[in-house]
Structure formats: C-alpha cells, structure tokens
Amino acid sequence: MKNYYTIIRTEEQYENYCDELEKLVMSNKKEDIDNIELLTLLIEKWDSENLPILNSDPIELIKALMEQNGLKSKDLAGILGVNKSTVSRILNYRKGLSKKSIRILSNYFSINQEALNQPYKLKNEINRKFKNASLMNTRKKMEMV
C-alpha cells in the first residue's frame, strides 16, 4: 500500500488511484480514512480537468466523448445507424440530434439523456427559424381546417 500520493498526471495513474481507492474503501479500516480522503480529492481534481462537463453544449460533449473513446465520425455513424455525412452535419451544427440519436448515444456512452437534450444553436439556413436544436424534437399542435 502506498504511503504517499501525488497529483495525477496520466490516465494510467488515474486508473491506479481509482483501483487503490476502491480497495481502501472496501477494506473499511479506520486507519485508511486519510488516504481515502486524499485519493478522493486527487481523483475529483483529475475528473474536473479531464472529463467532459455533462451540462455543456451537447455537440461539444459528443466530441469530447468521441475523443475520450478514440472514436471517429465513421464510428459514430455506425453507432447511430446513419451515414457519415449525417454525422458531419450534426457535429458541425447543421442538423439537430433526434430523440432516437439522443437515446442511442446516451446508452452507448452511459450518460443521462438530459446531457444531450440541451438547447444549442444550429448554423443551417433551413433550420434558422428554430432558436435551438431541441425545438426540432418537440411536437407541434396542428389545427385541422
């Protein structure tokens, strides 16, 4: 067992510290409380600096998750069951996320759907009338004449 800890600088060190913290918590020994608190602080610091913020722009979140998981646009296209140009339009703010895409991505990345169902502005001329992409997924009431 380590008697000292340092600032986390690599993902490998992060993983090791997470494993170490889990062991210390599971051992449930009183003498480990200081190490548990210190590891928790170090891990939280790493998380805040290296993990995407869940209530950020959904497209930036997707890009961060793709980078974190080593995914490219073609991989995302396969996950969503769409072509690469559709993914490109989504990632370039030219097409909003559909409800189906939000469900698929939240399941794939194990995140809450709310993180992807945030408003964000589109650049597409056709969708300019929408103030944000989340409005594209709302049901409109239509009157019968």
C-alpha–C-alpha distance, residues 130 and 126, integer Å: 9
DSSP code of residue 52: P
Tens of pLDDT, residue by residue over 46-76, are 877 776 665 578 998 899 889 888 999 999 9
Tens of pLDDT, residue by residue over 12-36, are 998 899 899 889 888 888 888 899 9
C-alpha–C-alpha distance, residues 103 and 113, integer Å: 6
Token representation of residue 96: 């909003």
pLDDT band for 114, please (50, 70, 90 cuts). confident
The class (CATH top level) of 58-137 is mainly alpha
pLDDT band for 121, please (50, 70, 90 cuts). confident
